[in-house]
Structure 1
């Protein structure tokens, strides 16, 4: 019976082992699936929707073959379509039946004409070796979350959601590569191959043991007996002591034979173990079942209530850091070369106007320091506007973690359309005691507040004029109660500076024959207000301060002794009509919500000379 069970075990082992090996060989399916995109039209650009990449689950491999340079970019689908709106292109989409189709899309609109001054800045930045995006080339556009170039061929592994798209081009002028394919990794794991081989090995060992036990039982019982044993002949008893050495050695063969039989059993079991081990060594990790590993419970995060109508952020945090780093590089090059044309490609409004004056002064007066530099990454806070259209805005807060003596900085950058780069329109240093309001995380973004919004204690478009009145009248201003002046260090600085200048002016001859007056007003730059999570807003405004000195006697003159900046800007040292000097203030406020009961508080500021002129 032991032989029967041994044979059964051998048969089961063979079936199990063969089944496990077959799963890893003859029954093993392909590990990838490939799809040719079939782009045939000669267009300079090809847009591939994210749905095409997600035709099958898993990692997506993009393969492009062409002649010469190949350019690829990844961005939100709407952003790619907006960038391509002024030209025709191949659009690769996924049809309702799951097939990949390619169509040619005609231009939907004309790109805005490039202003002569803008083109001048682009040319200057190109000459300086800086990458500046423009409508003629896709390289370096701020819309791309990632971009890559290669020669003749390109292979990229991606994980794109449906909301993203890939832009493929050569140089933006010649036809884009048409040999484009996608492939997906297919799960061809065989989780039961390993267990089948293991079970087969166990069955093989059991069969061998049963076979050995059967042999042992048969030998002990002298094998099968088909007839009786004949009577043995009579013998004489022999004592053990009468055996000689040779006989003893001969009789000892019985003991030696027993040892040999045990050795054969060991020898028979070893091949079974070797075979099983060899089979198991060929089984990879995907030949075994995978059990779900327990995941750590994530730590609770603060809840941010997102408005139902809020869109997705215009840029990702990594994309925003890349954009701001480009701006910092260009601004540093402009500050070093004193090129306002280069600066104009990445700076605008109050920031650009202040630098134009600074470059003029530094050309004449080398001791004049450069203005506050645009910081490079990493940023402490980045909040993109939640918006799919244009213009779109980014707010960022930077702090030097290695040097705490360097004042933190806050800035706002804006992109006007799909073909324009982001430009910094406001830049200031944060006050040391300023507490940054609670802002939404970068992955959620925030909405801009309308300039005339009534949801705040003061509409954003009224903050500049109200604070200007406070600068002129101090606590006597009707708007002073709306501001938290206890944490405001800018107002005392301006008040003290004006009084010092007035005292100096009155102590001179001009003070006896002339007047010095100060005034503040809302500047030319439009306010920008980004909502905080507590229904308030960070509001950036521009205020312009003027110092006007006039003679009060007909033959009197106003002299510029000790004021080299005004002299450098006006080109004169005295005037019979007087002078007017204008300073540009960039101010960041936290404006609370209407129902909060809080006051407006100043977060940061910068103040720079803007212009000086001789009065007519």
Structure 2
């Protein structure tokens, strides 16, 4: 019966193991999920949102096929949609069957510019006829796809996700199969052991004695002399044949007298035979023990192997065992967990800023050397572009004029991007020079619209000994404020003109109390005291020097600091007119001013215009009494020079 049960258990185990292996082989699910988009679109831009890309878990593989050049870019969703703007585009979604579908968004059909090259993109991929890449796109980011500008976007798009091939029956089937296999082995060993016990020994221990041999033994016993023994007074008694004596001696019937009074020869014989019998028995026992030991170990190993396999399977991954249904993470609504999650996103990340800064350095250096205004205007704008425009012109007239300082080539010390999803956008940074003897520069970049590049609009040299107020980290950024905000100690639109008046009038200015004098190197270099000192120089003894403000100042750019104040970047123009006191006195000039004015000496006089860029630290409206606006950096550059009256 045990053999039958063992056989049945073995068959069941083989069936279960076969089904379990089949779960991972012939019945295994596919290793990936593929969504194909075959629908053509007339739109120039195809957008794949992060929600679509995260419909399944795992790193996504994207393959785009089409005719001609193909460009695919990755950016934050609000940046992608900002770049697309009012242009008609298609948005890819995914349906219940995991197929990609298109939703057309109406808009302008005007040709869009080249998709690649924007400062906002995290990644760019381009190719001819086909583009493929792998990415782990988080929610909140999107992919934009375009073909040649002015043509429809390629719509042959395939997205592939790795599929976590869960086989929940594999673990139970393999485990049950190994359990039945162990049971079959146990039943087989038990049946084999029982069979061996029931059969007993297979050899006869002695042969049957003949009648004559039995009579001879009885006779010998009566006479008192064992069969085959030789006594001192008796003759030898003929023993039975060798075969009979060997096999029958142990079974002979001995008379009582012979047993009770054995002679000396019999005792000697018994004494001689006893140790031989014990040694033989010990050797037999030792051999049996040595034979049984490895047999027991083999039996234990045969049983332990399936048990160990079962224990090992219990440690397998959850994909091999049944589990309750789980909700995909992509369908869950993100819940803000910190203040950073509730704030608007920053204008650009640190990596993006590094690219912007490096591109600005490269373009500006090449343009400064070639005096290429068109080239430098791709990365420079505002007050910085105005100063370089004049510098390029002067250097074209006079080769001895030095170029303006380039973009600092050292490490970035501080980045403060604006918190915003709209345009224009502002980013401030402090960058050092590799030459540690040079003071750090404060750079202000602005992106006018989504399709424009960031341009450097302000570049000032930080004053020595003046510390910037504390600002937020680059991942949080800072908010901007309107020009007429009441949240600051002074309205930003008033600060520029007020400081220009301070430089002209000094302590006599009604705005003198607004600004802190301690540490203000700009006031020390170009303020009223410096102007009065210049008038007293001998070379201007016959000249009249007059200063004034020229033109309207541009709107300042500002970002909020941690204490509620703001860093405010602005610029204004200041003119200086030198005219003769008496008729016939000539006013001489040299260098860049002479080149721009076109004269070195004139009796009419020279009027020169300078641009002054300033970075202010403005206190909040609730700052303690006595807190003043601090100048933390400035720069000056020549803008124009003319002969008076010309």
Normalized against structure 1, the TM-score is what? 0.78
Matched with 1:51 is 51
Bigger mean CA offset, 516-525 vs 606-615: 516-525
Corresponding residue to 1:469 among 498, 501, 510? 501
Where does residue 198 of structure 2 map in the other structure? Answer: 223
- Distance in 2 (CA, whole Å) between partners of 1:377 and 1:106 is 47
Structure 1 pair 570–211 and aligned structure 2 pair: CA distance change class (3 A): same
* Residue 290 of structure 2 is aligned to residue 259 of structure 1: yes
Q: Is the 8 A contact 1:547 1:582 kept in 2?
A: yes
Cα deviation for residue 208 of structure 1 reads: 5.0
Q: Equivalent residue for 1:40?
A: 40
Alpha-carbon distance in 1 for matches of 2:488, 2:425: 21
**In 2, Cα distance between the equivalents of 1:177 and 1:376?**
41
**How far is the alpha carbon of 1:73 from its aligned partner?**
0.6
Does the 8 Å contact 2:469/2:561 carry over to 1? yes
SS in 2 for 1:411: strand
* Corresponding residue of 1:143: 120
SS state at 2:570 partner: strand
Residue of structure 1 in register with 2:512 after alignment: 480
**SS of residue in 1 equivalent to 2:250:** coil
Q: Equivalent residue for 1:120?
A: none
Deviation of the 1:558 alpha carbon: 1.0
CA distance in structure 2 between the partners assigned to 1:499 and 1:304 by the alignment: 56
2:159 is aligned with 1:182: yes
* Residue matched to 1:614: 643
When residues 539 and 306 of structure 1 are mapped into structure 2, their CA distance, relative to the original with a 3 A threshold, is: farther
Q: Which residue is 1:160 aligned to? A: 137
1:334-356 CA deviation, whole Å, 9 max, x = no partner?
11211111111111111001111
User: 1:366, 1:206 → 2: CA distance?
Assistant: 99
What is the aligned residue count? 568
Q: Which moved more, 1:8-17 or 1:469-478?
A: 8-17
Secondary structure, aligned partner of 2:449:
coil
Please state how far the C-alpha of 1:409 moved relative to its aligned partner: 1.8
SS of the residue corresponding to residue 380 of structure 1 reads strand
Q: What is the deviation of 1:553?
A: 2.0
Contact 1:517/1:549 (<8 A) preserved: yes
Task: Judge conservation of contact 1:74–1:147 (CA < 8 Å) in 2.
Answer: yes
Deviation at 1:48, TM superposition (A): 2.0
Task: Describe how 1:170-319 pairs up with structure 2 within 5 A.
Answer: 170-189=147-166, 222-223=197-198, 235-236=249-250, 255-256=286-287, 258-267=289-298, 311-319=344-352
Match of 1:355 among 381, 388, 392: 388
3-state DSSP class of the match of 2:484? coil
Q: Structure with the greater relative contact order (CA < 8 A, sep ≥ 6): 1 or 2?
A: 1
Distance 2:24 2:533 in 1: 89
Whether the 8 Å contact between 1:71 and 1:147 is mirrored in structure 2 is yes
Instruction: Give the whole-Å Cα distance in 1 for the aligned partners of 2:290 and 2:455.
Output: 92
State whether structure 2 residue 439 is matched by structure 1 residue 407.
Answer: yes
Question: Compared with structure 1, are the counterparts of its residues 205 and 95 closer, same or farther at alpha carbon in structure 2 (3 Å cutoff)?
Answer: closer
Query: Unaligned regions of 5+ residues in structure 2, if any?
Result: 209-247, 252-268, 322-336
Alpha-carbon separation, structure 2, partners of 1:230 and 1:275 = 43
Matched with 2:586 is 557
- The alpha carbon displacement at 1:602 in A equals 1.4
**Map of 1:484-523 to 2, 5 A cutoff?**
484-495=516-527, 497-504=530-537, 507-508=538-539, 511-512=541-542, 514-520=543-549
Which blocks of at least 5 consecutive residues in structure 1 are unaligned? 112-134, 290-302
Inter-partner Cα distance in structure 2 for 1:365 and 1:16? 93
Whole-angstrom distance in 2 between the partners of 1:24 and 1:553 = 105
Q: Do the aligned partners of 1:386 and 1:445 also contact (CA within 8 Å) in 2?
A: yes
Rg comparison, structure with higher value: 2
Classify 1:50/1:223 alpha carbon distance in 2 versus 1 (closer, same or farther; 3 Å).
same
- CA distance in 2 between counterparts of 1:539 and 1:215 reads 96
Separation (CA, whole Å) in 1 of partners of 2:99 and 2:479? 38
Matched with 1:587 is: 614
Tell me the distance in 1 between the aligned counterparts of 2:62 and 2:347. 25
Q: 2-side partners of 1:452 and 1:385: how far apart?
A: 18
Contact (CA 8 Å) 1:197, 1:276: kept in 2 or not? no
| Paired position in structure 1 for 2:146 | 169
2: CA distance, partners of 1:186 / 1:570:
74
SS across alignment from 1:611: strand
Query: 2:518 aligns to what SS in structure 1?
Result: helix
Q: Is the 8 A contact 1:523 1:542 kept in 2?
A: no
Contact 2:409 2:432 (C-alpha < 8 Å) held by counterparts: no
Residues 1:208 and 1:405: Cα distance change in structure 2 (over 3 Å)? farther
SS of the residue 1:324 aligns to: helix
Question: Alpha-carbon deviation of 1:567?
Answer: 1.2
